[in-house]
């Protein structure tokens, strides 16, 4: 899928979600456009590899056991989904704050569930389980602990009752802050605080299911095997590694299992708990129209969910305009905003760093130009929070501007900031800094900062003094020398780059040796679940590799990548048999979602994921081949080669099997 097609696909998803929330096409266009523009300016993590000691009930004081964190690093589709939630809030509040505003009950229910899911997704699968099981449904704390233990597949990472109560109170406060007087809190049995609920909550069951389906993390397959009640052992939710970055995909799968209504029902059925349909509790909203689902006209909602071509074109133009404006050099003053409120400023002529604290629950940090410059968005950081403090230092994220400058966000671990009303207020410390990419530009800014100081110290009337003249001359000579040295370095660097380009202009085609003993390709169809079927070796010549002949064209001097070193993959159909081409799109999505590989064209790829049609066009044999024509995967001597189906779920299995072999190789490398 090309860059334009991918952007259009994501814009359609964002439009559908925004329209589902608001039911207004104009709002949906604005929200999708703003969310996509912010996605293009979102900072990326520079170093996420740190560990923490989880604070579960099994963690003994002073224990030296180090567990991987459960903080989630979101992929682009999931970030866009969260940005749609954030961009929807101002439109919702504007409508709710109008004098004598009366909002339809259905709209407030959607907004309530959306906000609950969003503030839980900001954290991790524990908060998602807590929000869905305790605040949307009325499962007890003990029952919710069972659900969380099932999706974690690790009893050592359980949370104690006090932590459940404290975190539930935090989520309720954030919901109360969002909806204000529209929600009322009552005390239930044992003094437990809950929102006052509607007696006819079951009436909204279908609406709630529709909301949960829309708010489930995008493009995530169901992690539960088979059908019916979930088993006690769920391989797709089990984490066995030591690298915390590897758990991100599993955390998203856990969130899917809890949010998606069908998966959630299978989870509770596997534990023998009462069905969610009997535990649903919808809050009672005040100042609403009282209209429920099916009461009155709904409009052409089903026919209006997709954007028209003119709406897509309008969104593309606005996004391109934002990108073009970002190409201009940044002005001397920048503003730093948290959830739309200005928190700090960067006067680049005087300082290039701002420090402040952000309370837990804040969603977005933006860096914009000054108002007189049009308030152009330059960089965005979407906040996520760990539920336990890591032992190492802060995380760093950066966005590179079109001129090469960088804006850095340094986020400390979640910690207690202060006490307020007898309760602990948690949050993070933030450092936003600006850096010039070009040495001359950095020197210019340093000179601008120094110049006012020099003018204050060396007043004009003192220039007659001989000593001042000497000092001035010395400083000027030093500055000229420094500028000359920097310029010399730049000239040498450019000359070196031109030489390297000249050396690599001539492409080389690497010969494709035919393996003397190709690895087996065992057959597993979607209808057969035995992973140990007899091998079915793929052909290594002829039609099977007609498209690329097992060769990826690379620049001269590039080394052939091993399985661990592969980062860029091209997915391609080879052979003469008919295969549903949708498998390419499914595999591209799954590879991108893995956050380990990117999909590129064959001339830029480290390896080719070759798809050969089987006896049935609904099945395909998969091999990963490097630029020398060597089969990297399935690995020789292993019963890993399989025939897969052409569905999204089967594509996810391909990537999961490939990732499992890569992790095993990495583990062996660390051991040896």
Q: Are 68 and 241 in contact (CB under 8 A)?
A: yes
Residue 499's pLDDT is: 54
Provide the H-helix boundaries in 303-423. 309-326
Average pLDDT value for residue range 524-533: 35
Q: Is the pLDDT of residue 96 over 70?
A: yes
**For residues 616 and 418, which has the higher predicted lDDT (pLDDT)?**
418
Average pLDDT value for residue range 357-378: 87
Q: Is the pLDDT of residue 256 over 80?
A: yes
pLDDT in tens, 570-605: 998 887 777 777 788 888 888 888 888 888 888 888
**For residues 511 and 102, which has the higher predicted lDDT (pLDDT)?**
102
Residue 633's pLDDT is: 86
Residue 395's pLDDT is: 85
pLDDT in tens, 285-320: 886 665 555 544 444 444 458 999 999 999 999 999
The model's pTM is 0.65
Beta-sheet pairing, 406-411 with 423-435 = antiparallel
Q: Is the pLDDT of residue 73 over 70?
A: no
**For residues 35 and 399, which has the higher predicted lDDT (pLDDT)?**
35
Residue 386, helix vs strand vs coil: coil
Our separate counts of H helices and E strands in the chain read: 15, 18
What is the chain's alpha carbon radius of gyration, rounded to the nearest angstrom? 29
DSSP-assigned states of every residue in 470-513:
HHHHHHHHHHHHHHHHHHHHHHHHHHHHHHHHHHT-S-BPPP-P
**Highest-scoring range by mean pLDDT, 346-350, 357-361, 622-626:** 357-361
pLDDT in tens, 614-651: 767 778 888 898 887 888 888 765 544 467 887 877 88
CA nearest 116: which of 255, 253, 231, 294? Answer: 255
Residue 139's pLDDT is: 96
**For residues 476 and 60, which has the higher predicted lDDT (pLDDT)?**
476
621: Cβ–Cβ under 8 A, 6 or more apart, which residues? 521, 536, 538, 611, 612, 613, 614, 641, 642, 643
Q: Is the pLDDT of residue 559 over 70?
A: no
> What is the pLDDT confidence band of residue 30, given thresholds at 50, 70 and 90?
very high
Rounded Cα–Cα distance for residues 556 and 225 (Å): 46
Residue 430's pLDDT is: 94
Residue 63's pLDDT is: 40
Residue 21's pLDDT is: 95
* Cβ neighbours around 226 below 10 Å, total: 9
Rounded Cα–Cα distance for residues 148 and 54 (Å): 15
Rounded Cα–Cα distance for residues 420 and 348 (Å): 35
Q: Is the pLDDT of residue 56 over 50?
A: no
For 78, 590, 645, the CA distances from 246, given in Å and listed in that order, are 17, 15, 26
The C-alpha angle 291, 297, 298, rounded to 5 degrees, equals 90
Strand partners, 137: 280
Strand partners, 353: 433
For 221, 515, 601, the CA distances from 631, given in Å and listed in that order, are 28, 8, 19
Measured between its terminal Cα atoms, the distance across the chain in Å is: 39
Supply the mean pLDDT for the chain. 77
Rounded Cα–Cα distance for residues 220 and 517 (Å): 37
CA nearest 208: which of 128, 102, 140, 293? Answer: 293
Q: Are 550 and 625 in contact (CB under 8 A)?
A: yes
Residue 17's pLDDT is: 96
Beta-sheet pairing, 598-599 with 568-574 = parallel
Strand partners, 464: none
Residue 483's pLDDT is: 76
Rounded Cα–Cα distance for residues 117 and 136 (Å): 10
Residue 643, helix vs strand vs coil: strand
Residue 637's pLDDT is: 52
* Cβ neighbours around 391 below 10 Å, total: 12
Average pLDDT value for residue range 245-264: 91
Rounded Cα–Cα distance for residues 158 and 141 (Å): 13
The alpha carbon dihedral of 597, 602, 608, 609 has a sign of positive
For 199, 370, 416, 520, 537, the CA distances from 640, given in Å and listed in that order, are 54, 57, 48, 8, 11
Rounded Cα–Cα distance for residues 167 and 174 (Å): 11
630: cis peptide before it, omega within 30°?
A: no
Q: Are 293 and 206 in contact (CB under 8 A)?
A: yes
Angle between helices 141-152 and 161-179 (to 10 degrees): 100
> What is the pLDDT confidence band of residue 521, given thresholds at 50, 70 and 90?
very low
pLDDT in tens, 190-244: 778 889 999 999 999 999 999 999 999 999 999 999 989 999 999 999 988 766 6
104 half-sphere exposure, CB direction, 13 A CA radius: 14
Residue 105, helix vs strand vs coil: helix
């Amino acid at each position: 899928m090309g860059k334009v097609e991918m952007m259009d696909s994501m814009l359609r998803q964002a439009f559908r979600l925004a329209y589902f929330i608001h039911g207004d096409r104009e709002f949906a266009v604005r929200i999708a456009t703003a969310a996509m523009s912010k996605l293009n300016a979102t900072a990326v993590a520079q170093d996420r590899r740190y560990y923490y000691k989880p604070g579960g009930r099994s963690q003994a004081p002073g224990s030296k056991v180090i567990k991987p964190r459960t903080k989630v690093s979101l992929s682009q589709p999931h970030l866009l989904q969260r940005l749609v939630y954030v961009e929807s809030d101002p439109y919702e509040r504007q409508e709710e704050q109008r004098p004598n505003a009366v909002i339809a009950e259905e709209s407030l229910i959607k907004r309530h569930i959306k906000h609950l899911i969003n503030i839980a997704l900001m954290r991790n699968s524990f908060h998602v389980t807590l929000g869905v099981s305790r605040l949307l449904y009325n499962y007890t704390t003990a029952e919710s602990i069972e659900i969380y233990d099932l999706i974690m597949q690790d009893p050592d990472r359980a949370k104690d009752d006090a932590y459940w109560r404290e975190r539930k109170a935090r989520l309720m406060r954030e919901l109360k802050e969002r909806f204000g007087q529209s929600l009322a809190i009552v005390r239930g049995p044992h003094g437990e605080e809950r929102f006052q609920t509607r007696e006819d909550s079951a009436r909204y069951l279908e609406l709630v299911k529709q909301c949960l389906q829309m708010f489930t993390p995008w493009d995530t397959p169901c992690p539960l095997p088979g059908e019916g009640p979930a088993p006690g052992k769920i391989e797709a939710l089990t984490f066995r590694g030591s690298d915390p970055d590897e758990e991100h995909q599993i955390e998203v799968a856990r969130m899917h299992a809890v949010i998606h209504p069908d998966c959630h029902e299978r989870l509770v059925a596997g534990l023998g708990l009462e069905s969610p349909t009997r535990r649903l509790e919808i809050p009672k909203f005040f100042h609403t129209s009282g209209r429920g689902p099916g009461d009155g006209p709904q409009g052409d909602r089903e026919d209006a969910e997709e954007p028209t071509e003119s709406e897509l074109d309008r969104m593309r133009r606005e996004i391109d305009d934002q990108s073009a404006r970002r190409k201009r050099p940044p002005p001397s003053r920048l503003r730093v905003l948290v959830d739309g409120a200005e928190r700090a400023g960067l006067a680049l002529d005087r300082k290039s760093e701002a420090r402040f604290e952000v309370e837990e629950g804040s969603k977005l940090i933006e860096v914009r130009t000054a108002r007189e410059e049009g308030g152009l968005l330059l960089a965005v950081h979407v906040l996520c929070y760990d539920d336990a403090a890591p032992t190492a230092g802060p995380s760093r994220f950066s966005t590179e501007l079109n001129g090469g400058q960088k804006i850095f966000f340094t986020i400390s671990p979640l910690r207690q900031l202060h006490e307020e009303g007898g309760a602990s207020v948690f949050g993070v410390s933030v450092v936003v800094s600006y850096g010039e990419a070009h040495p001359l530009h950095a020197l210019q800014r340093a000179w601008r900062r120094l110049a006012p100081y020099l003018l204050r110290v060396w007043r004009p009337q003192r220039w007659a003094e001989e000593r001042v003249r000497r000092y001035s001359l010395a400083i000027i000579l030093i500055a000229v020398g420094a500028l000359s040295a920097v310029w010399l370095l730049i000239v040498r660097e450019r000359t070196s780059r031109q030489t390297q380009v000249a050396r690599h202009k001539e492409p080389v085609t690497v010969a494709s040796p035919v393996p003397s003993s190709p690895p087996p390709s065992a057959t597993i169809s979607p209808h057969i679940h035995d992973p140990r079927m007899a091998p079915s070796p793929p052909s290594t010549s002829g039609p099977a590799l007609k498209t690329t002949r097992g060769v990826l064209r690379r620049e001269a001097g590039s080394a052939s990548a091993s399985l661990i070193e592969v980062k860029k993959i091209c997915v391609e159909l080879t052979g003469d048999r008919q295969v549903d081409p949708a498998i390419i799109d499914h595999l591209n999505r799954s590879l991108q979602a893995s956050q380990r590989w990117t999909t590129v064209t064959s001339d830029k790829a480290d390896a080719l994921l070759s798809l050969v049609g089987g006896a049935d066009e609904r099945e395909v044999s998969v091999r990963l081949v490097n630029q020398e024509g060597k089969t990297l995967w399935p690995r020789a001597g292993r019963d890993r080669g399989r025939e897969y189906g052409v569905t999204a779920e089967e594509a996810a299995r391909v990537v999961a099997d490939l990732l499992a072999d890569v992790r095993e190789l990495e583990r062996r490398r660390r051991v040896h």
